[in-house]
């Protein structure tokens, strides 16, 4: 998992049916000092995050399971999901 800042969203009309109704957010990975690292990713929002918030991102099957929510096996094509809103980093 990694830390990221929500910086935008994507509008897509023609898409896989599993994405219908999903919020597709553009997230910028950040380090512990909130500096940008790597390139932006696109993540399905599963927790109601807003632009400017710092979030926790899961990839791969973790992202898919988060996207399926409480319905195990529900079809998902997500490989990147917002799974938490970060209140605070402690170090």
Residue 71 binds to its own copies (criterion: CB under 8 A)? no
Residue 21 binds to its own copies (criterion: CB under 8 A)? no
Buried b (16+ CB within 10 A) or exposed e, 52-67: ebbbbbbeeebbbbbb
Which residues contact residue 41 at a Cβ distance below 8 angstroms, ignoring those fewer than 6 apart? 4, 26, 27, 29, 57, 80
Residue listed under structure tokens 């800042």: 5
Residue 45 binds to its own copies (criterion: CB under 8 A)? no
Residue 74 binds to its own copies (criterion: CB under 8 A)? no
Residue 11 binds to its own copies (criterion: CB under 8 A)? yes
Residues that bind its own copies (CB under 8 A): 1-3, 7-19, 24, 26, 29, 31-32, 37-44, 46-48, 51, 56, 58-66, 70, 72, 75-81, 83-91
């Amino acid at each position: 998992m990694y830390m990221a800042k929500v910086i935008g969203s994507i509008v897509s009309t023609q898409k896989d049916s599993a994405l219908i109704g999903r919020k597709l957010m553009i997230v910028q990975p950040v380090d512990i000092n909130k500096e940008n690292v790597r390139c932006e990713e696109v993540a399905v929002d599963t927790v109601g995050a807003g632009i400017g918030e710092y979030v926790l991102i899961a990839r791969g099957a973790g992202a898919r399971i988060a996207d399926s929510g409480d319905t195990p096996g529900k079809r998902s094509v997500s490989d990147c999901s917002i799974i938490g809103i970060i209140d605070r980093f402690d170090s």
